[in-house]
Structure 1
Amino acid sequence: MSTPAFNSVAWFEIGTDRPAEVERFYGELFDWTFRVDESEELAYHEVTTPGADAPSGGVFPSGGRFPDYAVFYVVVKDVAATVARAEELGGKVIVPPTTADSGLVFAQLHDSAGHHFGVFSPPPVD
C-alpha cells in the first residue's frame, strides 16, 4: 500500500455505541469487511473496503461515552501545527493532539462552520 499524500483524506472513523449493528449495516450495504485490532487498547474495528489491500477506516466502539459520529481524517506532517493553524482560521479543537501507544498522533476539530473532522500523523518508521 502506498503512503497517502500529506493533506489528503486518508482514513475515516465511525464512533458508535452499537458497533455490531453498524458493521452489519455497512457490511451489507457496501460489502465492507471488519477485523478487530486486538493490539489497540479499545479493540478498534478496522474497515477494509472491496478491492483494497489494507484497511482505510475504523469503527470505534464508544461504549456510550459520547455521541455517535462519522468523521474523516486528513494525514498531515505535524498535528500540533495543523491544529494551531485551524484555530487561527476559526476552527475549534474537540480532541487535542493525542499520541497513541503506536506513535500515531491525532486530533479532532470543528471547522469554522462547525463541521467535525480529524487530522493525524502516522507513527515514525523504524
Structure 2
Amino acid sequence: MTQKGVGSPSSGSAPDLFYRRTLAAELRRASSKSYSAYLAYKDSRALNLTRTKEGIALLENRLALIFGCLSNPHTAQGKAGLDQEYTATIGELSALREQAAQAARSVGKPA
C-alpha cells in the first residue's frame, strides 16, 4: 500500500490545487512567451524584407545617378571608375534582390 505525500499532485489536498494552479500559470506564461517570441520573429522577418526593399530602392537610385553620369559627355575622364562602380552596383543589386525574394518567401509575401 502506498502512502500519498502531502502536497503531491495525487493527494487531492489544498497543496494539490495550488500545484495545479501554479503549473497552469507557468504553462500559460510559457506559451505566452513562445507566442510573443514567434510574433517578434515574424515581425523581424517582415522588417528584414522592408529593409531589403529599401536597400534595393537606394541601389536603383544609385544606378540611375551613375548611368546619368556615364551618359553625360562632360564626365568622360572618370568614365572608367564609373563603369566599375556601375558593374559593382549591378552585382549588389542582384544579390539584394535575391535576398528580398528569400525574405519574401519566409514571410509569405510576394517580392
Q: Considering the TM-score relative to the shorter chain, is it more than 0.5?
A: no
- If each structure's helix is expressed as a fraction of its own residues, which one has the higher value? 2
TM-score by length of 1: 0.18
TM-score by length of 2: 0.20
- If each structure's strand is expressed as a fraction of its own residues, which one has the higher value? 1
